[in-house]
Structure 1
Amino acid sequence: MNIPLKYLSKMGEYDIQMDGVNIKAIVADHVTLVESGIAELKSRLGGDLKLVGIDLKKFDNSGCPRLLFIYVKDYCLIIDFNGLPMRYFPKILAAFLSDQTISFVGFEIDSKFYEFRNYRNFVYATISGSLSSIKGVEICDLAARVRKNRGLLSCRSFADLVTKCEFDFKVEDQKKKDPFVGGSAMSFSTEEIKYAMREAFNCYNMANKLLSDLLGNPS
């Protein structure tokens, strides 16, 4: 979209309230917005435990991811690859995703990263040497190890995991139609963004609670 960045930036801002948390969500479809978003994420990471909730959404069955959700504390960066130049992957994003000091936590994260690796921008970045292999933490694996319960590995949905862990996290109705399936929208409503970022939000908060409880520091 050929308009000044200050307007694009405002268009991509969303104020979301989720489970009592006031969240600033940013949809970034321009390289400069991706860079500023990564800087915001980094400013919220500190200490020896750097947790990041992550999720990937696609609009159709083409196998090409459309939106990457990166969540930390009260901030969610949503990268819309549809707005980035073809065969371009921001170096700052590549460096962030390759940071071995950060724990990227997600549900079915291996399969989602597999799709990501096959995405044209990711493949190009890998070939050009600007991005190393992404490694993530599967939330079911983390829960199973913390709770010492092998049965948690077989959870087929995040709702199932929440129930078995006896947490009170809210989950989206599985029967509800995903507004991102089969579409190619250039803009999103606040409710659509809230719906879509739920998994990244939940994975971050569940991982944080599991690890806090492990050390006897209830979150």
Structure 2
Amino acid sequence: MIYLVEDDNSIRELVAYTLHSAGFVAEGFERPSAFWDAMENEIPSLILLDVMLPEEDGISILKKLRSSVKTKKVPIILLTARGSEYDKVIGLDNGADDYVAKPFGMMELLARVKALLRRTEGEAEVAEHVLGELCVSPSRHEVTVEGKEVTLTLKEFELLSLLLENKGRVMTRDQLLNSIWGYGFDGENRTIDVHIRTLRQKLGSCGQYIETVRGIGYKIGGNQ
């Protein structure tokens, strides 16, 4: 089940139709109150969440979802206004796994939904990654910096794990997008850059381990 919280009727109906056509079971909600009522009966596999909503904005809903034990790991894609970098950064910082800027193409949205669901089906047991004061445990989905646990979104965790799995190697934006989001880099997409920025902030003193390779992408470690 996929839940869509969107007050624009035309967008909500088109997205629901697209998801149904792709074989997904989806339900749309015009108002947050109806969404919260539905959450009492069933927790969805993924939530598409508009930022600008009546009654309660999407960021507020996101924070509540991430603060609840029942919903803190539900994949969430934010639907944001094009050019609103503030909403994107705040959304990612508060636990969103991805974002799509309006107006968006239905095929792009569908690709992101499929990629996110594919990545959340389960993770294989992998040994812990340790780099200086940074420790990442894929099996426990846990990150610690200087012994203190750090809370990351699913995408931030996957991005950090992928960089650590390829320690010392430069990963291009295209490689990172394809591996984690399931689609290629088009030269304008800033998804990776925004995630790296928030990831560095959350890692504090260990954020410096993530190096920017100008014009190519990112790498982690190599000398630590």
Same fold per superposition (TM over 0.5): no
Q: TM-score w.r.t. structure 2 length?
A: 0.29
Relative contact order higher in (CA < 8 Å, ≥ 6 apart):
1
